Amino acid sequence: MNFTIDAELDATGLRCPLPLLKAKQALSKLNSGQCLKVLATDSGSVRDFQAFADLSDNTLLLSETHEQHYIYVLQKA
């Protein structure tokens, strides 16, 4: 998958629901079509980010796990 990262958010060490709340704030500063990369360590964020994408017009382009880190890329609607 090919996309450009326009902003990054380091949410490592934050517990649910803070990674998603901070991601929503960061997305609000982006233009439509831009992408936000989020790095998190809370395992609950996997469910949160998928549910957020399902309930919003934003697209979850990437959801990966690397050891204890969770990486997401959201595209703003």
Tell me the three-class secondary structure of the chain, residue by residue: CCCCCCEEEEECCCCCCHHHHHHHHHHHCCCCCCEEEEEECCCCHHHHHHHHHHHCCCEEEEEEEECCEEEEEEECC
Global pTM reads 0.95
Choosing from 3, 6, 12, 16, which is the catalytic residue? 16
Domain limits, the chain: 7-75
pLDDT of residue 2: 85
Q: How confident is the model at residue 43 (pLDDT cuts 50, 70, 90)?
A: very high
Q: What percent of the chain has pLDDT over 90?
A: 97
For the structural domain made of 7-75, what CATH number should be given? 3.30.110.40
Average pLDDT, the chain: 96
Whether 41 shows a pLDDT value over 80: the answer reads yes
Q: Is 35 one of the catalytic residues?
A: no
At 64-75, the pLDDT tens digits run: 999 999 999 999
